[in-house]
Each structure stands twice: as structure tokens, then as C-alpha cells.
Amino acid sequence: MMKSYQTLLASPTQETLYQAARLLQAGELVAFPTETVYGLGANALNEQAVLEIFKAKGRPADNPLIVHIWDAKQLDGICEVPPLAVPLMDAFWPGPLTILMPRLSSIPDVVTASLPTVAVRMPSHPVARQLLQACGLPIAAPSANLSGKPSPTTAQSVMEDMRGRIPMILDGGQSEVGLESTVLDLCHGTPTILRPGGVTKEMLEGVIGQVQLAGSILRPLKEGEQALSPGMRYRHYAPKGQVTLVEGTQENVLSAMRSLARAAQAHGETCCLMAFSEHVPALSDFRVYDLGSVLHPEETAHRLFEILRKTEEDGMSAIFSEVMPPQGMGLAVMNRLGRAASFHTVSALDVLGDPEL
């Protein structure tokens, strides 16, 4: 049976930070802000506490968690440190980079889904750092959403998903990056990005040379294909409406989105578009969510999950979205958009040539 709580939403003060730290020390869960998304934390060394995370989120037990630390000294009790990790930690910690390292036996199996590696990150958000320091523990924390939903980037979104399920949420404002951390595997040959995020492939290569991308970042797993990162197997980031990505030249995409929206409306769908700021005026006949400037993928990353949640709140059943080149931060954006759409993509040219639309 899951416990039930009167969930406290608290601004971070010295007092509430200590209250949150005491809850974590007592084996309870606390949601807290990080620069990527909000995390749902538990003492990583306490198996029972970590099990509560899986219950509160409805997360499958074979999807491992990231362990958060505030000081590199804490690594001694958690994992071995591969030589390549050292320059990466120097360059990108604290920040949105998670590194897989060989685990020590102090980390319970529930944290790593019994894998031989543990994922570790040092967040840069001051509230996360203060909380980690105050409790003095490594904290296992996935994103603080119900499993399958877009990750929360505001305390209010955490409240929507976690009300009654956890004792406390610390409110640190809207997460700056807006997408989860980059997950990098250093334990199996060439360093491999399992999940793209705020630290891009190009940034990593600037420090350690060649880095490769896991195959399923921009496509679904093939039948029988093993997920290097177990999280890749699951439906993720998806709002209730069906998201369709529209590809092609800018002009064709805008015309195709209009046709698709009109056809969806004619079929009784509650329909909307997701478009870049520059294109919003041209689509003003329809309900449009503004993805930010086409020139700044960081802006789209920052807004994306809140927009996906808003489409759900607004009851949208059909959602058509523009895409961006999968380069730099655009790769992380397209990974999340692709998964939100279950990789459902149409070509603008095909749409424009379709006599039924």
C-alpha cells in the first residue's frame, strides 16, 4: 500500500532545506529543483527509501536511477572512477552531465536495476546543491513526474503528479535547461551518449575526443534490439494527445500543418500546432504553442515539457509539430519530441500531395 501525504510545497529557506534534509535522512521522498528538470529524491543507500520512488512514480523496476552528489569526494563510496571521467567532471560538473561508472556494492541493486554500473551526476542548481550538502547523502533521483509523462520543469507540475504521494516539494522556479541530463556511458568501449541533454556531443568531444550516439536516440528500438539505457524502452514524455512531427522545407511544413489541422478539425479532433516563434504569426488561424526561436534550440528545450503538459491540460487530441535539425542542443530536443510522438512523422510534401487533405 502506498502511503498518503499532505504534500507541502515550500520555498527554499534554511529552515525548509533542513526539513527536507531530515526527511531524506529518515527515508522519505523529497522533490527538488535541478537545472535540468525537477528530481524525486531518496537516500541512495537506503533500499526501502529508493523503492518508494518507484511506487510514487509508477516506474518500472528495471529502469535504473541517477545518483546525485554535491562533492566529488562522495564518489569514493559509490563507484570506481574511469580515467576518462576525470577531465569530463572537471569540465562539466556541476552541470547536466550524468556519467555511468562501475558501481561499488554499497549501492543497492534497486538503484541500478542490478546493472554493474551506476549513473552519477553533480547538479548545479543552488537549491539542489544546498539540499545535497545539508543531508550529507548521495541522493537517487529520477525526474519527479508520473512514469510516462513529460518531466516536470516547475514545482507546480511536480505537484500535479505527486500531490498526496510525497511529503514535500522544494520550489526553485522553472528549470533552466528544461530537458534531462546527458547520459554518457564510459564503461563499454567508445564513450557513448545514451540520452542526449544539455551537454552536447560536440562539447564532450572537445574534451575527450570521439563520442558516439546510441542507435535509438532518433528512432524506436528495433525488435529484439537491446536498450543500452533501459529507460529507452519505455513510452516517454508523451501527452494524452497524438503528436505528429511534420518534416520538410519551412514553407511546405507551414502549409502542411495548416492542411493537417483543418482535416483533424473536420474529423472532430481538438487540434493544435507547435511552431517556432518566427512562424507563429503565419499560423494564427489555429491554436499554436510557441516553441521559441528557430535559431535557439536551448529556448525550445527550456519550454518543451511545459508545452507538452499544457496541451494535455487544454484537452488537445491532435498535435502537429515542427522539427529542428538534430545538432547541438537540437539533438536532445528531437530525441524528446520524437519519443513524445512515438516517432510518428509525416513528410510535408506527401501531405500537400494528398488529395484527401
Q: Are 38 and 32 in contact (CB under 8 A)?
A: yes
Q: Give Cβ neighbours of residue 248 (< 8 Å, ≥ 6 apart).
A: 256, 347, 348, 349
Euclidean distance between CA atoms 293 and 276, whole angstroms: 5
| Element spanning 88, H or E | helix 85-92
CB 109 within 8 A of CB 16: no
The least distance separating ligand AMP from the CB of residue 327, rounded to whole angstroms, comes to: 22
Q: Which stretch binds ligand AMP (CB under 6 A): 46-54, 58-66, 210-218, 265-273?
A: 58-66
Binding-site residue total for Mg ion (CB under 5 A)?
A: 2
Q: Quick one: 66 or 193, whose CB is closer to ligand AMP?
A: 66
Contact 196, 217 (CB under 8 A): yes
Site string for ligand AMP, 97-116 (x = CB under 6 A): ---x-----------x--x-
The yes or no reply on residue 65 touching ligand AMP (CB under 6 A) is yes
Nearer to ligand AMP, 119 or 122 (CB): 119
Rank residues 192 and 244 by Cβ distance to ligand AMP and give the closer one. Answer: 192
Joined together, the cell numbers standing for residue 288 give 499554436
Q: Does residue 357 belong to the site contacting ligand AMP (CB under 6 A)?
A: no
Cβ atoms of 199 and 35 closer than 8 Å: no
Largest CA distance in the chain: 64
- DSSP letter at 23 equals H
Dist. CA 98–CA 178, nearest whole Å: 15
297 three-class SS: helix
In contact, 32 and 13? CB cutoff 8 Å: no
Shortest gap between Cβ of 142 and Mg ion (angstroms)? 5
Q: How far apart are the first and last CA of the chain?
A: 50
Alpha-carbon distances of 345 from 69, 164, 264, 315, rounded to whole Å: 39, 37, 16, 22
Q: For ligand AMP, which is the closer residue by CB, 66 or 264?
A: 66
Query: Which residues in 328-349 are b (16+ Cβ under 10 Å) and which e?
Result: bbbbbbbbbbbbbbeeebbebe
In this structure, the number of other CB atoms found within 10 A of the CB of residue 285 comes to 10
* Given 117, 200, 300, 335, the residue binding ligand AMP (CB under 6 A): 117
- Closest to ligand AMP by CB, 63 vs 153, is 63
Using the rule CB under 6 A, is 120 a contact of ligand AMP? no
Question: Which string of x and - marks every residue 127-166 that binds Mg ion (by CB under 5 A)?
Answer: ---------------xx-----------------------
Size, binding site for ligand AMP by CB under 6 A: 19
Set of cell numbers at residue 357: 487533405
Asked whether position 231 contacts ligand AMP by CB under 6 A, the answer is: yes
Nearer to ligand AMP, 142 or 338 (CB): 142
Residue 42 or 118: the one with the smaller Cβ distance to ligand AMP is: 118
Task: Select 84 or 346, whichever has its Cβ closest to ligand AMP.
Answer: 84
**What mask, x for binding ligand AMP by CB under 6 A, covers residues 167 to 196?**
-------------x--x----------xx-
- Residue from 142, 197, 239, 326 in contact with ligand AMP (CB under 6 A): 142
Q: Nearest distance from residue 231's CB to Mg ion, in Å?
A: 7
* Stretch in the footprint of ligand AMP (CB under 6 A) among 8-16, 26-34, 61-69, 297-305: 61-69
What span, in angstroms and rounded, lies between the C-alpha atoms of 120 and 104? 12
Please choose which of ligand AMP, Mg ion, none residue 75 contacts, taking the beta carbon within 5 to 8 angstroms, the exact cut-off set by kind. none
**Binding-site ranges for ligand AMP (CB under 6 A):** 63-66, 100, 112, 115, 117-119, 142-143, 180, 183, 194-195, 229-231
